[in-house]
A and B are shown apart, each in its own frame.
Chain A
Amino acid sequence: MIGSPDVVAFTKEDDDGQSTSDPWAIPEEFSIPLHPLADSNPWAKTSYAKFTKDFILISEFSEQVGPQPLLSIPDDPKVCGSFDLNYFSLRIMSVDYQASFVGHPPGSGYPRLSFVEDSRVVLGDSKEGAFAYVHHLTLYDLEARGFVRPFCMAYVSADERKIMLQFQELSARFSKASECLKAGNRRAFAKELQRKLRDLEYTHSVLQREEGLQREAGPQCMYSAHAVEKANELASVEKSIYEHRDLLKQISSYPHRPRRDPQAVACQQCVSECEELFGKYAMIADPLSCTNGGQKGGDDAQGHNGQAVKVDIGEDEYERVQRRPSYTPQLIKAKSAKCFDKRLKTLQELCDHTFYEATVESLKETERSFRGDLCYLHTRRLDRVLRRKQRIINFLFEEELCEDDDDDLDGRATFRPFCAVNHAVDNSRLFNGVPVVLGPEPPKRFDPASDTSHTRDLMLDDNNLKSSCIDREFETQTCSEKPHFKCSNQKSSKPEVLDAESDSTPDYDRKTDLDGESNKEWAKAATDEDGRPEALSEETTRKDGCEKDSKFVPMDAACCMAHEGFLDNPSDAVPHLAVHLQSAQILVVNQEPQALLPLQEDYTVGSLCSENHRAGPLGDAVSRTSAEDGSDCTMSASTGSDWSASPLGNGGMLTLRLKKKAGQGALRFVRQYPFAMQALWSLLSGRTLVVLGADEARVRRLVSALAIFVPAPGKCGERVQPWLCCPFTMTDLHRWKLIGLQRVASPTGSSMLFSLSRYSRYISILDADQKTLRCPPYRGELLANMADHRTYVRRGSTYYLHVQSTLCRLAAKAFLFTFTHHLHLPVNAAEGPDGVEARRRCFLQEQLGLAEDDRQIVLYLSHLITQHYLHAADGRNTAAPSFNFNYTTSVLYKI
């Protein structure tokens, strides 16, 4: 869309040394080159750096080994080359950006978590030729010193200015990624705390019991050394419990604390969800409000370990205990080992899986979007800003802007909280109450008995996709997911056990798991799903039971995650819901396979519609030819390689390469045919251009070259028909604005020629074989600079951009004309249509400086804009499209 600055950037890809200089630089004579250039290529800015392109580096200041690089994006050793990542990590991590509290601050009884804001710095290492935007952040780790692990993410580039000028956007993007990572980390941290608390409580109860036994056994007044030791141990465990509860409370309060960081915007929905979740945690954590829960937890533990409690509990209680997702608490040794041989958690383990993935994706996206030269980035941004402003007329000559394109466009203006969780999907799932499972699951079984297991099978798939709360923005939307329902994703790794398990449990889990759902949001959620965590936890119990020989299981991340299921069970049970929900469950089970259908339909629509477009309601011949144009050319014997150059061949968006190719084709056309201007005028003024020829390859080449001049070609180039072998009708003429037509010497050929001559008043005909053009004469000036066959432009991409900028200007004129009120409507009641007409004419002539023929282009574009504005929004224009034309004589142009 934008002209010259873009050209500079584009020429880089043409591997051509000579080009205009960087418009941002001071003239050469005033500047002293900091580094002697290794070669004369001004684009090879990185030549003195040891890496070839920009990359993102994630490093950690490990308490064990010091600064170390963890991950680079792109993860390609070639990118970093001989660049010393270790050394650079040291450089960037050496900036100790905040003194973080460790341990017990004075005046507080418990260890405090430090809620550290991220910091952003730009560092340079001129010796290495590397500059970096460095984003420091801390993650929480229960086992780390002070519970914090410092990390940093760095955008490393050889161009300092690039980083300085893009600082805002880099900062916005890295903040997003950081927030995402930290949110995931908080989840993981809370889970870890929960487990730890469980363990502590269990240890506490065991110690208490032992102490009680001792007390009963021994004399009342005297304490043995052993008893004292036990008492001390008990006290330290109690203290530890309080400490951990406090930590849990602190982490729960995280979203509420005031943020100093303006860019750290949290997704509101996530925050509220966090509140809920943490509220639940806090309930367990708070010994006063939730003693019952704690007690139950204890019972639970005993139910599985001590075997004695079962007798006391009533029948339903027993059932509840049975199906409780019991994490098996373990005894904690009195002193936790904080030694250097201990393995620290990896970044993945520190962070909830989904969030980690989302973060990495986000960083990858960041890396992609910052690829290229500063100038290129700048012009691309300008281009996008402009396009965003001209949203209404973008359909004419520009590609559609994606929504997320806008988003990352300008981090400052439209910063939307980034969230790894797709809430929209979440809510719809909640509303439907039916988990939609991916994959071709045929709606096969409907009897409730087998359905439970069936459903559970489906759940398994689902488990792979989700943990507590999943969907990703970056991954394809095919990943449908559960309501935000906590369930251990660990289970998915052991599906076979579950399968065996599932058929044994359906009778009670169906009923009882529901009675717990006093939480109305849970009740709203898919009921059949509620069955699953129980089954899983059931499974957990058994499995754990097997390996329960040793009570002291080392704290292993993988193991920890598995126990999280118990959190899902609300500790207080409300059995009266059971009946109601049971019926609901059957309903849901029956419903589920069908619930797949609309979804799949949704998916198919996307891919099918383009085909429908192409196949169209025409005769067989046409649809056959259009099918040929697709990727699969089974019918066409002559698949020339240069056809693939057709920018509209596969109905996809124009890639940059295709654009360049089309630009080259168009440039060749303009240089080859002196009447190119007339042809372009035909296309731009809405007169269908028919390219007639016997040689398919040549016709297709011409069509693809000219396609860039077709206004509003449609998302997939629907208005261009590159090759047609049958006579066309009136409808085709306004469906397609550019048609490649086969010239054949046969009866069909003559009927084709008949249709050509019959509709000759509506079309311009470019004869590719005889090199003639029959169309109305054009006497305007507008197209002269676009279709000058003595043009000095030599390069296709340059020409393409030149054309784009001219077309953009035209579109802007048309926009102005269309939406200027007084050009279409009388300014007062006395004025008749003639007055308006005169004013319109005057505007086009004087203000826009358009001659008669040029006016037609703007009028046509304006017509398209009007139609688009009136009908595109509602999308249900059932009326046939209107086709405009005028009666003018055509002239035959020869070379």
Chain B
Amino acid sequence: MLRWFFGGRETQSSVEKSGVLCIGEEQPKNCFTELQVLKGHFDIVRFLVQIDDFRCASAGDDGLVLVWNVETGERVQELRGHSQQITAMAVLRCGDVRLITASSDRSLSLWDPDTGNRLQTVLDLQSSVKCILVLEWLSAWISGGQELCVWSKDFRLECLKERHSDTGISSLIKLPKNCVAAAVDKTVVIYKLTASGNALSIVEICCLADHQDQIRALVNVNDAMFASGSHAGELIVWDALDYNVLAYQHILWEEPQTHAAQSNIQTGGPKTSEMSIQHLASNGNLVAAAVGSGVYVFSVATKAAVAYRKCAHDSDVLHIALLSDSELMSCSEDGSVRMWEIGELPLAGEPASPGFFGMWTLGRSSRQACPTSKQTSDAAPNKTLELTGDLIGHSGAVQMFVALPENGLLTCSADHQLILWKNGEKQSCLRSLALFRKLEENGGL
């Protein structure tokens, strides 16, 4: 596309061929036709949480937490207090809505997003908190770092569990029966919370060590399952009750010609970073994984890949979300957000596009007492992943996004900005509504 600037006479299509994946400028299915650039941060914005239907909070490396009205794009509050970058943020919905933030300055803060007041602060933690999990039904929340701490909603430390590990807890999810799963390096550790009277205590139940590499992502699939993904591209679906492996996929992004030489050890294969699972998302039926710069969709019902794209983005995919059973959204270091549609394969027997690649379920049954997972998917995935649109606006890596009601989308990026994407037509209708309301207030022109 650049070429014509330099005077080249080549047509655009040839340029596009060399690109990874380009949808072009015609995007009829892309409804995001309006955007607002939200400014206020001074450094990379890494976290977004939705407070309620019209508010979101953003936080990042500048230690600043900003609360935005996502309907108007106005900045509602500015929460200042952390001296270093924010490492985790969560919304506490026990009674009034509160915001919990953790920072590298080894402090935790509780904020009132309505007034912007800092209600509680815990300073001088032993280590910085990497993840926060809110347990509404217990009116408590857990922070994970080098140690695992259980806090009451008024910031009282209920109990503390030290872990002697270098990496500490990288992510936490809720499990049924008052259990939580924590990703600690290569293992998933299951803890059980018990409430005796007012006090809460936490006990380690078991440690699942089936991953070969560091676990990067942990996600709840549904009440009976959760999934974890590792740096080496292993995707494991676990039973949430008895902690058995329900499915094991090793995503290798192999080229078709290497089929024959498949083995457990991939020498000279793709670099591990290319198949590192950065993020997982699930809607109960499907698990979507951000694998390297690709996107991978796995069905928990069939325990097989539904669709995938190795080169979904030009760079690593950082965040992924399943909007519905057929819609997928991903954002990447290349600064774009892409929208995907999981569609039926047009016709059987159609040759796979050159961008397609192999996916193999590795026979690791020797260690797995779960034969069902050994369902090798020799057949190509039965659905396609079609790019329906991309959002370009950020000039840095898009760290995260939040899908908002009314077709809205909020993205945050390393370029210190947030962009609020909206459906232009709907917004225009809303504005017209506001116009006539104001007209009525003013009593005419």
Closest CB-CB distance, A251 to chain B, in whole Å?
45
B438 surroundings in chain A (CB, below 8 A): 869-870
Q: Which chain B residue shows the least CB distance to A821?
A: B436
A824 engages B436 (CB within 8 Å)? yes
Q: Do A882 and B4 touch across chains, with their CB atoms under 8 A apart?
A: no
Contact flag A772-B4 (CB < 8 Å), given A759-B392, A879-B74, A885-B33: yes
Known: A880-B36, A883-B35. A863 touches B428 (CB 8 A): yes
Give complex CA distance A447, B107 in Å: 52
B25 is contacted by which of A755, A879, A881, A890 (Cβ under 8 Å)? A890
Q: How far is the CA of A887 from the CA of B422 in the complex (A)?
A: 14
Contact with A along B195-220 (1 / 0, CB 8 A): 00000000000000000000000000
Chain B residues near A758 (CB-CB < 8 A): 335, 392, 395
- Does any Cβ of A come within 8 Å of B348's Cβ? no
Query: Could you tell me if A887 and B33 are in contact, using CB atoms closer than 8 angstroms?
Result: yes
Question: Closest A-chain residue to B28, C-beta based?
Answer: A887
Give the residue name and chain of the A residue nearest to B24 (CB): A889
Chain B residue at smallest Cβ distance from A824: B432
Report whether A825 and B434 are in contact in the complex, using a CB–CB cutoff of 8 Å: no
Task: Select which of B27, B37, B431 is within 8 A of A866 by beta carbon.
Answer: B431
CB distance from B389 to the nearest CB of A (A): 7
A residues less than 8 Å from B34 (CB atoms): 882-885
In the assembled complex, B262 has its CB within 8 A of some CB on chain A: no
A351 at the interface (CB under 8 A from B): no
A18 proximal to B (CB < 8 A): no
CB-contacts of B1-48 with A (<8 A)? 1-2, 4-5, 7, 24-28, 30, 33-39
B25 touches A824 (CB 8 A): no
Q: A767 to B5, Cβ gap below 8 A?
A: yes
Given contacts A761-B25, A886-B424, contact A879 B73 (CB under 8 A): yes
A812 to chain B, nearest CB (A): 14
The 5 closest A-B pairs by CB, nearest first: A824-B432, A887-B27, A879-B73, A879-B74, A880-B36
Within 8 Å CB of B431, what residues of A?
863, 866-867, 870
- The distance from the CB of B55 to the nearest CB of chain A, in whole angstroms, is 14
17 contacts between A and B (CB under 8 A): A617-B39, A730-B393, A730-B417, A756-B5, A760-B25, A761-B25, A819-B439, A869-B435, A870-B431, A879-B73, A880-B39, A880-B420, A882-B36, A883-B34, A883-B36, A884-B33, A889-B25
Contact B73 A880 (CB under 8 A): yes
- Report the minimum CB–CB distance from B93 to chain A (whole Å): 26
* Cβ contact within 8 Å between B392 and A878: no
With A and B bound together, what is the CA distance between A821 and B417 in angstroms? 37
Q: Is the beta-carbon distance between A730 and B37 smaller than 8 angstroms?
A: yes
Contact indicator B432/A825 (Cβ below 8 Å): yes
> Beyond A734-B37, A883-B35, A883-B37: 20 further Cβ-contacts under 8 Å?
A729-B415, A730-B393, A730-B395, A731-B417, A754-B2, A755-B395, A757-B5, A758-B335, A758-B395, A767-B5, A824-B432, A833-B429, A870-B434, A878-B74, A879-B69, A882-B427, A884-B34, A885-B34, A887-B25, A889-B25
Chain A 274-292 near chain B by CB (<8 Å), digits 1 or 0: 0000000000000000000
Q: Are A757 and B1 in contact (CB under 8 A)?
A: yes
Residues of chain A within 8 A (CB-CB) of B432 are 818, 824-825, 866
Q: Which residues of A contact B5 (CB under 8 A)?
A: 692, 753, 756-757, 765, 767
Report the minimal beta-carbon distance from B54 to chain A, rounded to whole angstroms: 13
Q: Which residue of A lies closest to B435 (CB)?
A: A866
Chain B: residues with CB nearer than 8 A to chain A?
1-2, 4-5, 7, 24-28, 30, 33-39, 69, 72-75, 335, 389, 392-395, 415, 417, 419-420, 422, 424, 427-429, 431-436, 438-439, 445
Nearest B residue to A823 by beta-carbon distance?
B432
| Chain B residues whose CB sits within 8 angstroms of the CB of A883 once the complex forms | 34-37
Question: Are A825 and B433 touching (Cβ within 8 A)?
Answer: yes
A633 within 8 A of B: no
Contact A819 B445 (CB under 8 A): yes
Separation of A314 and B338 alpha carbons in the complex (Å): 96
CB contacts (< 8 Å) of A866 on chain B: these are 428, 431-432, 435
Bound: A212/B24 CA distance, A: 114
Contact B35 A729 (CB under 8 A): no
Decide if B433 touches A774 in the complex (CB within 8 Å). no
Q: How far is the CA of A825 from the CA of B437 in the complex (A)?
A: 11
A863 to B36, CA, bound (A): 15
Per the bound structure, the CA–CA distance linking A307 and B75 in Å amounts to: 77
Using an 8 Å CB-CB cutoff, how does the interface string of A846-883 with B read, 1 for contact, 0 for none?
00000000000001000100110110000000111111
- Residues A729 and B36 in contact, CB atoms below 8 Å apart: no
Cβ B38 vs Cβ A880 within 8 A: yes
**Cβ-neighbour of A824 out of B1, B39, B433, B445 (below 8 A):** B433
Query: Shortest distance in angstroms between B331's beta carbon and chain A's nearest beta carbon?
Result: 15
The smallest C-beta distance from B418 to any residue of chain A, in angstroms, reads 10
CB distance from A232 to the nearest CB of B (A): 74
Residues of chain A from 633 to 672 with CB closer than 8 A to chain B in the complex: none
Among A729, A824, A878, contact of B395 (Cβ-Cβ < 8 Å): A729
Partner of A882 from the list B39, B73, B395 (CB cut-off 8 Å) is B73
Q: Restricting to A724-742, which residues have a CB under 8 Å from any CB of B?
A: 729-731, 734
List the A side residues contacting B395 at CB < 8 Å: 729-730, 755, 758
Q: Which residues of A contact B420 (CB under 8 A)?
A: 880
A887, B37: Cβ atoms closer than 8 Å? no
The minimal Cβ–Cβ distance linking A240 to chain B, given in whole angstroms, is 62
A837–chain B nearest beta-carbon distance, Å: 8
Q: Cβ of A888 and Cβ of B33 under 8 Å apart?
A: no
B26 — nearest CB in chain A belongs to which residue?
A889
Which residues from B are CB-within-8-Å of A734? 37
CB-CB under 8 A from B417, the residues of chain A are: 730-731
Contacts of A885 in B (CB 8 A): 33-35, 424
Q: How far is the CB of A751 from chain B (nearest CB, A)?
A: 10
Let me know if B4 and A774 touch, CB within 8 A. Answer: yes
What's the Cα separation between A734 and B422 when bound, in Å?
Answer: 15
Chain B CB within 8 A of A892 CB:
yes
Our pick among B1, B7, B24, B436 for the contact of A770 (Cβ within 8 Å) is B7
Contacts of B28 in A (CB 8 A): 887
Q: For the complex, what is the distance from the CA of A756 to the CA of B1, rounded to whole Å?
A: 10
Would you give the shortest CB distance from A849 to chain B, in whole angstroms? 21
Instruction: Return the chain A residue nearest B33 by Cβ.
Output: A886
Q: Which residues of B contact A818 (CB under 8 A)?
A: 432, 435
Which residue of the partner chain A has the closest CB to B419? Answer: A730
Q: Which residue of A lies closest to B30 (CB)?
A: A887
A688 to B72, CA, bound (A): 23
Once the chains are docked, how many angstroms separate the CA of A821 from the CA of B432?
9
Residue numbers in A under 8 Å from B27 (CB-CB) = 887
Complex Cα–Cα for A755 and B445 (A)? 42
Distance of A730 Cα from B36 Cα, bound (Å): 10
Q: Give complex CA distance A864, B392 in Å.
A: 23
Q: Does A385 contact B (CB under 8 A)?
A: no
Least Cβ distance of A150 to chain B in Å? 48
Find B1's partner among A755, A760, A833, A887 (CB 8 Å cutoff). Answer: A760
A881 to chain B: which residues have CB within 8 Å?
36
Closest A residue to B76 using CB positions: A878
Q: Which residues of B contact A869 (CB under 8 A)?
A: 435, 438
Chain B residues whose C-beta falls within 8 Å of the C-beta of A584 in the assembled complex: none
Q: Which residue of B lies closest to A759 (CB)?
A: B392
What residues on B are CB-neighbors of A879 within 8 Å?
A: 36, 69, 72-74
Instruction: Report how far A818 CA is from B5 CA in the complex, Å.
Output: 39
Task: Tell me whether A235 is interfacial, beta carbon within 8 Å.
Answer: no
C-alpha gap A818/B429 in the complex (Å):
11
CB within 8 Å for A870 and B435 given contacts A882-B36, A890-B25: yes
- How far does the alpha carbon of A692 sit from the alpha carbon of B37 in the complex, in Å? 25
In the assembly, what is the distance between CA of A23 and CA of B254, in Å? 83
Distance of A890 Cα from B392 Cα, bound (Å): 16
A392: CB under 8 A from chain B?
A: yes
Q: Which residues of B contact A757 (CB under 8 A)?
A: 1-2, 5
Closest CB-CB distance, A231 to chain B, in whole Å?
A: 75
A727 to chain B: closest CB distance in Å? 9
Q: Are B436 and A878 in contact (CB under 8 A)?
A: no
Closest to B425 in A: A837
A315 to B144 alpha-carbon distance, docked (Å): 89
